[in-house]
Structure 1
Amino acid sequence: MIPNIVRGRRVGGLLRYLYGPGRREEHVNPRLVAAWDGAGPLGALEPPAGREGRRDFRALTEVLEQPVRSGRNPPAKPVWHCSLRTDPSDRPLSDAQWARIVGEVMAQVGLAPHGDAGAVRWVAVRHGADHIHIVATLVRQDRRTAWARNDRWRAQAACRDLEERYGLHQVGAAATARRRPTAAEVNKARRLSRPESDRDVLRREARFAAAAAGPAEEFFALLRDTGLLVRPRMSSTRPGEVTGYSIAINRPDPIWYGGGRLASDLTLPSLRARWQLAPPPLPDDGRDLIAQVTRMVTAAGTTEIGMCDLLFVAARQVPGPGRRRILLRAADALDRAARPRRTQPARTHADLQGLVRMLYLTGQLADDRNTVAVLQLLAAIARLASALADLHDAHRQLHDARDAREAARLLRAAARSPHPGTRPLTPRRDRRDQPPAADPRARGT
């Protein structure tokens, strides 16, 4: 859940926008769902609609602005506006749940502590399924100014607690965290009927190229082979040296994304540090790579990031379009579950990375003669994903546990049929895929 806080001067103008149609007619059924302690029934505060459907905001504006007009030292921008948005993968929340969430945020920010009868006046307006808006005035009812110091940090901390309590997507920064699509990117994809945002597509292609490539030139070549536009960034102080890159989908007026905008471990310096680690030698017979990778996966339980790299490569090479689609979904799910939480031991990850690159270069994953070995490998990664889900459950990282469990389900489906090229596979659910019973905090009660 992501809070966004801005300050303003006019309550009436903000209320008219929140109750209006929105910039793209996205505001649906705007209504009050919560207000300050002592505000009375929400129905009495709701702006009434006239004959032509136009609402009258004068009464609500008046009651919100009254403490500001009588305040001892009101701020220049007395309107505090905070929007809260859930992740697209989260379940819809009821009005009552949003009301409790808003009350907790206002209390933890310090503007309206529980039981404080003299706190600021505020209302919460809902006009969409996945977000809500809080409108407050920064003068308390006892005429003192509420300066809302550290409000952004406090709101973030409140949201982290509420995510765990309600079983929502847990937003957390980490050294290898993926960059989530912005609301504008998600809305654009929906508007154009695209299944996912450009950022998600580009990150997946960069993950594959990073796992399969060696030096930067080969990385750029693989990206171009997939049909993407690639723009290396040259050093401004050392002529001829490439210091970064941007990629874009080949469309009119392409939108460019640097590696750091996709994920912090996809910057060119991070990739070069990874590629500099020497790959391990080939097995003695040069043909047993899949078995060697399977043994490494089975023996080492701390190589989730390497498993992601392996799945991104396998999704391009294994026979059968159905299995490739499933592996691509599994790779995305395991990437979400593994990368934000862990940093792998450098040598262990390098060993597996070297083997993944050799699997890509030798094409053994695409060889029909290796079908049984490939299925055994996928089953081993599925067991690792299940173990990762149990670990996240133990730490109450509910969203990461769900992603890891989804990856395990998809991998078991991909490993189920012994004939990879016959027909597309349909993942089936079984009892092992169901999350454990959540406690009342996870249900949002």
Structure 2
Amino acid sequence: MNAFEINGGKPLKGEIIPQGAKNEALQVISAVLLTEEKVTISNIPDIVDVNKLIELLGDLGVAVERLSKDTYTFEAKNINLEFFQSEHFKSKGGSLRGSIMIVGPLLGRFGKAAIPKPGGDKIGRRRLDTHFLGFEKLGAKFNYNADTSFFNVDATNLKGAYVLLDEASVTGTANIIMAAVLAKGTTTIYNAACEPYIQQLCKMLNRMGAKISGISSNLITIEGVKKLGGTEHRLLPDMIEIGSFIGLAAMTGSEITIKDVHYEELGIIPEVFKRLGIQLERRGDDIYIPAQSNYEIDTFIDGSILTVADAPWPGFTPDLLSIVIVIATQAKGNVLVHQKMFESRLFFVDKLIDMGAQIILCDPHRATIIGLNKQVQLRGIEMTSPDIRAGVALLIAALSANGRSIIHNIEQIERGYQDIDIRLRALGADIKRINIMPKSH
């Protein structure tokens, strides 16, 4: 089993370029199924989840050509719809949460789809109801077979409809948009997610000939068209990586410049990190973080403890709360982190407590972090990564810690972060990949 060995406590220095956005990649790569014409996508991250989706499209009959490390062309001219019923599809699609994203485009273009119950992170239940309720409103009929864990969807007569989402699901919104662009009539999606990833998808579809308005709002209107054409699209940089690197700089007292961040698309993220006391400076389209010996958490105006909570965009993304927790362990002051969307994402704090952090896990959704103001350094330990985001938070903790840490199950980290060890070594980090059997935890 691969693991990372980290000798921490060393300041880093240099520039780092964030990879393309993983969550956007899963949506826009699925959207190539909406046309038989060629689509070129660049800035694609070379990570497991994205590569699995590209392989899955190839198995479906999409002609995939890799032009460079981060650029591909896709041509979905000859799709094999029989592939859906194969055991190969069941095992491959079931191991990838992003595989749900191919359902919307397939329903829109071919009127039918099937999907095994998707896999992915172990961060609590992630309902798919929003996707299917949206498809149902458009006229799709679906059947879940509990014995085979397969969803079969029939949508031979998709018609535009008013869809009020029960939650502002990013993947649900994207999936319904992709089904609706080729449906007859007008679809209105209210309580739609409006993350930059959704905006990027809508702009790409409009370039392909779709008629989508209300982009960047929570009320999206789609006039169905008969067919879509090809296009070229470039992914945004990954905002979760950008936030992770800000946290890395603060925890290790490092001077780091994060390049080409598309600052305007980061929303509230820089402000949340500033409230944690981190100095960061916008320089053109880069973020410069100076070396800081310590940083102090803001309080609210009335003096009460700062609360950082996740919320649908333009609120704070849940994917960065694990980074906020780690940063807060070495800040001056206290913070309450409220993770509303997932019920198991805070359980990784037991590893931080083992490293010497002062954290009270109030319940599955809330943790209070008592900052050590860098008076007591975290200590290196052996640990296992439970999911992508917690894995990177633990990696940052290990890089700041005194002594040697081993992180097992790094496959979880590498599902979302490209060449992370190589890129950190370029900043001066003492991190290497080793092969050992994990201890039971």
- TM score, norm. by length of structure 1: 0.30
Structure showing greater relative contact order (alpha-carbon pairs closer than 8 Å, 6 or more residues apart): 2
Q: Which has the larger radius of gyration?
A: 1
The structure with more helix, counted as a fraction of residues: 1
Greater percentage in strand:
2
